[in-house]
Amino acid sequence: MKISKDVNKLNSCNNQPLKKLADRFYVFNHYGYTFDEFSKCKDMIRQADYENSKTFSTIFAIFMAVFLLFSLIGLVPAPFITKYSLFLFLCMLIKFGTVLWDKTHKTYMLSSIRGVIFLILGFGIAESVYDSYVVATAILPLFVLASILSAGTFTEFFAIITFVLTVFIKSSMIMKDPMIVHGDVVNGVSFYFLSLIIHYFYQKSRIYRFLILYNLENAKRELAISATFDQLSGALNRATFSRITHRIFAQNHDEIAVCLLDIDNFKQINDSFGHETGDYVIESVGENICASLDMPSLTTESYLDVIATQNIDYFGRLGGDEFFIIIRQDASRAHVIETIEYLQQCFYEVDLPNGHGISFSMGVVFVSPDEHDFHTVYTNADKALYISKENGKDRYTIYG
């Protein structure tokens, strides 16, 4: 056993330098950002790159169409018709794919981004070698343009730009005079390194802006959650619950079951085991109520609107050990009783330091569609809850 532990420890020590090297390479490959940092804004980067690719492909298609028209009317030499027609066709293929798969295939996003990069650089090569006496007139600016189009990884861009440079130089050697080839090589390599530097630092600053945006959105989301939900139980807080429930009762609604729940002997739990245990109990209550209700998993922004407009169940914490449970999806007597009794069993299984679970007292009111005054319902639920407590707790009472 000791030998096995020593071997594992030795292997861990041996792997540490490799892990550090891998981590450093990841950071370099992702423009100076760690895995956690890059993962936070990866989707935003990809979406922005995709929107850029659609914009550039549209602009490129317009230019090709204009140049093709000039060729047809004789303003541009006729042999250029083939070149412009080919690149217009390739661009329209990418545009067609965008229309066809834009909303259904997210994997197409990456293909579109890469396709536009190759399309632009390919046109630069064709434009440069088409006239054997012109030194790299088109490919060089397009190297720089390609460097700002996508922030996938640095190695990906390095591989693409290296491949394009190789094709450019080979094409130049085949199509051009040796003296012009020399100029193409010098200019091509110069712009090649320039585009790598621009790409790395431009995308680094761009990702930094995405990270700031992510942090701002995250802070905004946390503020919205804090203003809407109770942090311990996950229930709607008192103010939000009151606002949304009065809104529901004021409008046309189906039958609703309103359950006012009070944790039995909660003060004694706090006094005996401490407030940390009390917090644990509140958290457990929230988890168990969520498990007993058919509640959708929604974002904060949409949750309140869905509650107000659809017959879904929800709950709120009034403060301390009191909770309101609103059952709307199926407010039949049988379903409500089944839900309450299931919740009772869940409470019994909450693990306290004394080995016992917890219980609750509850008042239940079935609200008809013609009842629109929540204050009256609250009063009646409180009366039913009082009866449950007077009769020994750990029970529910249905009002009326």
Total domains in the fold of the chain: 3
Same domain, 99 and 213: yes
Same domain, 249 and 329: yes
Percent share of the chain, pLDDT over 70: 90
Nearest one of 29, 4, 99 to 57, comparing CA atoms: 99
Does 153 reside within a domain? yes
Q: Which residue has the higher pLDDT, 4 or 61?
A: 61
Mean pLDDT of the chain: 87
pLDDT tens digits along 324-359:
999 999 999 999 999 999 999 999 999 898 888 899
Same domain, 59 and 153: yes
Same domain, 50 and 151: yes
Does 148 reside within a domain? yes
- Tell whether the model's pLDDT for residue 101 goes beyond 80: no
Does 231 reside within a domain? no
Taking the C-alpha atoms of residue 384 and residue 361, their distance in angstroms, rounded to an integer, is: 9
Does 230 reside within a domain? no
Same domain, 36 and 26: no
Percent share of the chain, pLDDT over 90: 48
pLDDT band at residue 254 using 50, 70 and 90 as cut-offs: very high
Residue at a domain's end among 164, 197, 222: 222
Same domain, 162 and 253: no
Q: Which residues contact 279 (CB under 8 A, 6 or more apart)?
A: 232
Q: Which residues contact 12 (CB under 8 A, 6 or more apart)?
A: none
Contact 318, 324 (CB under 8 A): yes
Residue holding tokens 């490799």?
A: 18
Same domain, 242 and 93: no
CATH number at residue 247: 3.30.70.270
Same domain, 23 and 153: no
pLDDT band at residue 96 using 50, 70 and 90 as cut-offs: confident
Does 233 reside within a domain? no
pLDDT at 134: 55
Same domain, 189 and 58: yes
Nearest one of 206, 249, 227 to 38, comparing CA atoms: 206
Same domain, 317 and 275: yes
Residue 82: C-alpha distances to residues 68, 115, 121 (Å): 9, 20, 18
Contact 219, 341 (CB under 8 A): no
Query: Model's pTM, two decimal places?
Result: 0.66
Same domain, 285 and 310: yes
Does 40 reside within a domain? yes
Nearest one of 293, 291, 296, 267 to 281, comparing CA atoms: 267
97: domain range? 31-222
Average pLDDT over residues 254-278: 94
pLDDT band at residue 250 using 50, 70 and 90 as cut-offs: very high
Same domain, 297 and 392: yes
Element spanning 398, H or E: strand 395-398
Residue at a domain's end among 171, 192, 222: 222
Nearest one of 99, 72, 95, 74 to 84, comparing CA atoms: 72
- Tell whether the model's pLDDT for residue 389 goes beyond 80: yes
Average pLDDT over residues 82-101: 85
pLDDT at 297: 64
